[in-house]
Amino acid sequence: MLSEEKNRLLTQVGPGTSMGDYLRRYWMPIAGIAEFDEVEAKPIRLMGEDLVLYKDLSGTFGLVDKHCSHRRADLSYGFVEEKGIRCNYHGWLFDENGQCIGQPYEDTANPKNPLKAKCSIKAYPVKPLSGLLWAYMGPLPAPELPVYEAFTWINGFVEVVTSDIPCNWLQCQENSIDPVHFEWMHDNWSIRQKGKLSPYAPKHLKVAFDEFDDGFVYKRVREGQAPDSAMWSVGRVFLWPLGFYLGEHFEWRIPVDDENTRSVTWFYCRVPKEKEPYRQQHIPHWEAPIYKPDGRWIESHIINQDIIAWVGQGKIADRTKEALGASDRGISMIRNRFFEELESVAQGNDPKGTIRDPEQAKFVKLPIAERKAFLDGKSLAEYYSHPYYHKRLRDFPWNAGQPERVRKAFCEAMGVDMKGDPLPDMIREPAE
């Protein structure tokens, strides 16, 4: 349970708020690069600020104020040039640093034009990495953008999926340190959705939480679990401060404002050994729906189920009314760490896990329960005999609504047809 004041402290993200200023000190994935395959510019709200994200004709990305410094027109309707974005109202041109580099009539009327230098707009650095666009909105110099180990893997099919979630970021991110919900929200609820009343999924018998440089891990023991299971020895990663990492995928909860969050996720699926070496030419992006036609939430896929928990807690969860138990120890740990971090940063320290050394940032290893499986790869036959991976070939289990174009690209990469059965050239005779 938190006081109203402490709840506000953790949940408010606008400029000038403690938590807002704290989170701005991290690079955040804000969009898929492929979102700019067809559009030049899009409005984007982040941390309570209205901005425009664009890709100019030279391929440079910019994240700038939504409003032009001339008379405040909406730059998301501007058009891009070789360098920068041009306001569609009177043609003022801005580069990715927010500098005004063109004012057509003013430049004609006064070739010396002193006005231009005074008309820059707010701009934040943007970097592309592994199919994602990353933004940094904090004080400069920015820390290094961490290249997580998974971003260096080849021989896999990657897709970026986003959704707009109408609730505060923290309740989404608290889900990243909540092992027991998996048993109920995903396992047992899915069993019930299939119309079965029993049996219930294996119970959690023990949970544990540890802190490390890049966040926290949660560990679990469930009924029937092998004593040496990696779910206990390694666990899952609460990636500080906004992410969740499960080996083959990342989820980030990016604050839009106090009452909205952008879910940005990155999925990797290793191709079968028969398809290696494989290099993906284009990382697709898709927007996952969260509503059914009747206005209720979609409940069929894992992240959709999570979203139902998050939005169900209210626009901003009222933590003065909760009752935390033994399963929530990780949640208390991360809240306390946030409070300590806010104080530490106020004293001038760098926030937890930020990297200043470019060499260190080039390869950031995180705990991965299934590390060996990722590094060794699998034949198609091993996919079909695996309790989880055979399902991954048949359907995308995380979000509802994967578009056919992405499913098709995935199937081609994996060597299967649209139903997930092997393509004829993938069926090999067993070796003598």
Question: Which residues would be at the binding site for Fe ion (CB under 5 A)?
Answer: 306
Q: Which residue reads 């300590």 in tokens?
A: 340
148 scored as a contact of ligand FES (CB under 6 A): no
Q: Give the phi and the psi of residue 239 in degrees, each rounded to 5.
A: -85, 110
Cβ-proximal residues to 286 (8 Å cutoff; 6+ apart), any chain:
159, 160, 161, 162, 401, 402, 403, 406
Residue 386 is which amino acid? H
Bridge partner list, 135: 28, 126
User: How, if at all, do strands 123-124 and 61-65 pair?
Assistant: antiparallel
71 scored as a contact of ligand FES (CB under 6 A): yes
109 scored as a contact of ligand FES (CB under 6 A): no
Give the integer Cα–Cα distance in Å for 38 and 318: 41
Stretches 64-72, 135-143, 152-160, 267-275: which one binds ligand FES (CB under 6 A)? 64-72
Residue 150 is which amino acid? A
User: Within 13 Å of residue 300, how many CA atoms lie on the same side as its CB?
Assistant: 13
What the block records as the tokens of 74 is 């909406």
Q: Which does 306 bind (CB under 5 to 8 A by kind): Fe ion, ligand FES, none?
A: Fe ion
- Using Cβ positions, the residue closest to Fe ion within the complex turns out to be 306
Q: Which does 214 bind (CB under 5 to 8 A by kind): ligand FES, Fe ion, none?
A: none
User: How, if at all, do strands 85-86 and 79-80 pair?
Assistant: antiparallel
Among 45, 70, 122, 371, which residue interacts with ligand FES (rule: CB under 6 A)?
Answer: 70
C-beta of 52: minimal distance to ligand FES in Å? Answer: 12
92 scored as a contact of ligand FES (CB under 6 A): yes
Q: Which does 94 bind (CB under 5 to 8 A by kind): Fe ion, ligand FES, none?
A: none
87 scored as a contact of ligand FES (CB under 6 A): yes
Q: Which is nearer to ligand FES, 98 or 125 (CB)?
A: 98
C-beta of 303: minimal distance to Fe ion in Å? Answer: 7
DSSP string for 253-276: EEEEETTEEEEEEEEEEEPPGGG-
90 scored as a contact of ligand FES (CB under 6 A): yes
Give the integer Cα–Cα distance in Å for 260 and 265: 16
273 scored as a contact of ligand FES (CB under 6 A): no
68 scored as a contact of ligand FES (CB under 6 A): yes
C-beta of 105: minimal distance to ligand FES in Å? Answer: 9
What the block records as the tokens of 45 is 């709200």
77 scored as a contact of ligand FES (CB under 6 A): no
Stretches 29-37, 87-95, 244-252, 318-326: which one binds ligand FES (CB under 6 A)? 87-95
122 scored as a contact of ligand FES (CB under 6 A): no
126 scored as a contact of ligand FES (CB under 6 A): no
73 scored as a contact of ligand FES (CB under 6 A): yes
Helix (H) or strand (E) segment spanning residue 5? helix 4-11
> Which value, to the nearest 10 degrees, does the dihedral of the CA atoms of residues 392, 189, 237, 176 take?
130
Distances (CA, A) of 278 to 154, 249, 419: 7, 19, 21
Where on the chain is the footprint of ligand FES (CB under 6 A)?
68, 70-71, 73, 87, 89-92
